[in-house]
A = this chain, B = another copy of it.
Amino acid sequence: MLAGEFALIDTIRQRASGRAELQLGIGDDCSILQLPAGHELLTSTDLLLEGVHFRLDWTDLPSLGFKSVAVNVSDLAAMGGNPLALYLGVGLPADFSDAQLTGFLDGIFTGLTEYDLALAGGDTCRSRGGMMISVTVQGSVPKGQAILRSGASPGDDLWVSGTLGDSALALRTLGAGLPVSAFLAERHFRPSARLRLGTRLAEQQLATAMIDLSDGLSGDLRHLLKASETGARVEVARLPLSAEFNAALRADPGLLDLALCGGEDYELLFCAHPAKRAEIELLSQFLALPLRRIGGLTAETDLKFCLANGQAYQPQRAAFDHFRPGKDGSA
């Protein structure tokens, strides 16, 4: 039996830690936040629904809580923002236990600590369907320094952080009823938001455009290209792939499309002038985070994937789209 809504809010409020910018947190009709002088406000919101974005028989609840924060923070990272506050809405099924709720909140608070966010508000209620989670993150950026999708130019390099396709490979493996390794499970169930990378790219003014990879490289790159009115050529042989992904790829070459079109990588895809290559390599070392140059932007407004032999490659899967049913094993 769940505690009442107000008791739950009290529990959350007691665990929520403050931040200097947060004048008033949970417990009134609104939060009150002061923006650092000379900064603009960044905001993004995400939904995570049981049966669409997650399955409770696949994920543990601390991981689900952590991921709910991380996917939202990833949007902030993609603008180069500094974290301020997060707002959490949760609809809980009638049979959700106090222990489950505690596990979920443990994950939420781990995420808040990891990304230095204050929990500044929320809403809780019973759900007659499955569990539903709504997260809204606020951050700040010095005026005019946010990295948009629209700033890229032909001739820019195209870079990506981390490795691609691990999360989609985990999902596909689980969908086939097979066990996944600890590495792949971590990549899918507890993704990292590349917040430090995003803020450094903004501070050092290294990137001309940026987006986070939630819907897959192909789909998200198309969003960036459309906003920037440019095209791109991606060298498939340069895609950063993990050792586990490469092993799976040797057994089934068709898996390549997971790296090109699979969702939920939560890596950052960014564009930069070629003069910045050395600085970006240094940043990669400083952050101990691989940054790989996978291609470049072109004046033609299309997207080309090229194999090592120069041949064009056409991936077979469209970008992850929640409204198209039965796609891609997306749970």
- On A, residues with C-beta under 8 Å from B are 2-6, 8, 23-24, 27-35, 40-47, 49-53, 75-76, 78-79, 81, 85, 87-92, 94, 120-130, 132, 134, 136, 138-139, 141, 143, 146, 148-150, 210-212, 227, 321-325
Contacts and interface: CB of A to CB of B under 8 A. Distances in A.
A79 B103 CA distance: 33
20 contacts: A2-B323, A4-B321, A24-B148, A28-B148, A28-B149, A30-B44, A31-B42, A32-B79, A35-B41, A43-B121, A45-B122, A45-B123, A47-B91, A47-B124, A47-B125, A51-B128, A52-B125, A52-B128, A125-B322, A126-B325
Contacts of A321: 4-6
A71 to B, nearest CB: 10
Given A43-B121, A121-B43, A29 B149 contact: yes
Interface centre among A31, A85, A94 (most CB of B within 10 A): A31
A138 B35 contact: no
Contacts of A85: 43
A127 B49 contact: yes
A129 B128 contact: yes
A79 B24 CA distance: 12
Nearest to A84: B41
Nearest to A322: B125
Contact of A29 (B23, B78, B324): B78
B45 A29 contact: no
B127 A52 contact: yes
B323 A45 contact: no
Nearest to A35: B35
Nearest to A33: B41
A16 to B, nearest CB: 14
Given A27-B227, A129-B129, 13 more contacts: A3-B323, A29-B44, A29-B78, A31-B42, A32-B41, A43-B85, A45-B123, A45-B134, A47-B90, A47-B91, A47-B123, A52-B125, A126-B323
Contacts of A122: 45
A28 to B, nearest CB: 5
Nearest to A130: B129
Contacts of A141: 32
